[in-house]
Amino acid sequence: MPSFNPKDQSQTNSQSLYDLTSLENNMSRQTAIKIGVDALYEAGSDLICKVCIMNGGSCCNGCYHLANGIGCKKRNTSCTAWLCGFLKYLLYETGLLKEWNDFWRQVPGQDYREDFTPEFFFVEKPLHMRRIRNLSEALSTDLQEIATKHIAIGFIITLREKIDKNIDRLNDCKKDPKKRIKIERNIKVLSSPFQRFQKELREYHLNNSNA
Instruction: Write the pLDDT tens digit of every residue in 25-78.
Output: 889 999 999 999 999 999 999 999 999 888 877 777 777 777 777 777 788 999
pTM over 0.95: no
Q: Is residue 6 part of a domain?
A: no
Report the C-alpha dihedral over residues 199, 14, 133, 184, rounded to 10 degrees. 50
Q: Is residue 72 part of a domain?
A: yes
Q: Is residue 71 part of a domain?
A: yes
Q: Is residue 168 part of a domain?
A: yes
Each residue of 103-158: pLDDT tens digit? Answer: 999 999 999 889 999 999 999 999 998 889 999 999 999 999 998 888 777 889 99
Question: 60 lies in which domain range?
Answer: 18-209
Helix, coil or strand: residue 62? coil
Q: Are 84 and 46 in contact (CB under 8 A)?
A: no
Report the C-alpha dihedral over residues 70, 119, 97, 80, rounded to 10 degrees. -10
Write phi, then psi, for 57 (nearest 5 degrees): -110, 30
Q: Is residue 46 part of a domain?
A: yes
Q: Name the helix (H) or strand (E) containing 190.
A: helix 177-190
Question: CA-to-CA distance for 56 and 90, rounded, in angstroms?
Answer: 20
| Structural domain count of the chain | 1
Give the CB-side neighbour count of residue 63, counting CA atoms within 13 A: 20
Helix, coil or strand: residue 65? coil
Q: Is residue 12 part of a domain?
A: no
Report pLDDT for 188. 97
Q: Is residue 180 part of a domain?
A: yes
Q: Is residue 114 part of a domain?
A: yes
